[in-house]
Amino acid sequence: MFETFQAMIRPNALSVQVPSGVNYGGHNESPNVTNQGMENGAFSLAEAIVNPSKKLENDMMLLGKKIKQHEDNIKFLKTHKNSLDDVITDTQVTLGKYHSSTAPKIENDDLLHMQSEEATIGSIMKYEKSAAAIFCQLKRQRNQATQVKDILGVVATLGKTTDDNLSRLLSEYVGLDNMMALVSMSYDGVKALVTYDKDGAIDTSAGVYGLATAIGQTLEGRINLICLENTMPYVGDYLPNDPQKRLDIAKPRLPSGETPPGFIGFAVNMIHIDNAHLFYLTHDGNGLRETLFYTLFSRLQVYKTRAEMLQALPCIYDGAVSLDGGIIKRSGVFSLGTREEMNVKFPITSGVSYLPETYVQVEKDLKELKWKKERLMEDLQREESMLAHVKYSFEIKKQEFIGFMAQSSPYTMQYPMQATPQGRSTPR
């Protein structure tokens, strides 16, 4: 394609002649003076024609090279996309074989887990006019939940704990507003939830308000949202060979260098994430633990008793909780008195998966492949957009070139020129 551009925009050399013996000057002018005047006028005219046309030609040549570059990039990206599609299809087939060969097992722990999750959703649904309750209702209906762009779910449904006491403790620390917050993968999801008219008022026929109306509900109050794309994620390593992708955070140390007695771990690592949510990735490749739960808990420390927690004060910076109900929100801020009963709390999990470990790895690979494909499609869309823009610019330049040459043609016929051996044009 680039070669056709070159052939199209290369103008033919100007080669026309002035008839000999024609006197352009007065009778008293010498032939030398007359010829010199003709030569200067002809050169001025030639420069006025050739210089702009050469610039237009160069501009078109540069645009032609850019077009070829974008076309080559698009070709490469499409080839890479086709390869990814093949790998994704093969991986999905592998997962399908796991599901077909693994008989469902319902153990007592599984039944407890399902009942606990249903109880959490039931508690959310009691706040029937909240965005969290409306989302849960939409998700149950399934046919409309997919219309909520980039929304993963409610905070309380995205993580689990291993026992009820820890669940109540961490839920109280997070607070009801955060437990009922909707979690969006991107800022586009945030914008899609609530839209405004030209006067700045909420458009109740669109977004989550419109979906609420569609199922016969009324949305009231504020919508609490956590956008993973805009959080400050954890920066560091993960525990090696840990299927839950727990964060490798250095243990707290007393001034003596010892770990405080009664220290159990960090709250962010004590949240269990189901396989279905474990490999959700943001645009930057971060998962739920290092974005959502790190935002909620940061380096919140968990201790066995309140007394042991208080002894560890010198090394508590981002807050701490104890299993007997003690809470330090952050350094120097205590929460004392009777424990608050949280209606909305994290579900309980056995922490046991009956799927083989290889399944978890295959599912992780599939999530990463889909994430790579999304990034590749963004690159492809960007290249196609730039190609369209460059082609448009090329067409504009081409029309300028054609118009300029059309305007210049009468003058080139009026003042024909012939190239000299030195490369200059002289009248004949």
* Alpha-carbon separation of residue 293 from 169, 172, 183 (angstroms): 15, 14, 11
CA–CA distance, 218 with 39 (Å, rounded to integer): 87
CATH class of 38-100+355-428: mainly alpha
- Give 364-394 pLDDT, tens digit per residue: 778 788 888 888 888 999 999 999 999 998 8
* Contact (Cβ atoms closer than 8 angstroms) between residue 302 and residue 323: yes
Highest mean pLDDT among 18-22, 44-48, 161-165, 300-304: 300-304
Q: Where are the beta strands (DSSP E) in 75-234?
A: 151-154, 182-184, 225-227
Amino acid at site 405: M
Sorted by where each begins, the domain ranges of the chain are 38-100+355-428, 103-349
| pLDDT confidence of residue 106 | 38
Confidence of residue 17 (pLDDT cuts 50, 70, 90): very low
pLDDT for 331: 63
**For residues 212-227, average pLDDT:** 86
- pLDDT band at 410; cut points 50, 70, 90: low
Q: Cα(150)–Cα(251) distance, rounded to whole angstroms?
A: 35
Q: What pLDDT score does 36 carry? A: 52
How far is 2 from 179, CA to CA, in rounded Å?
58
Q: Which tens digit of pLDDT belongs to each residue from 307-325?
A: 999 999 999 989 999 998 8
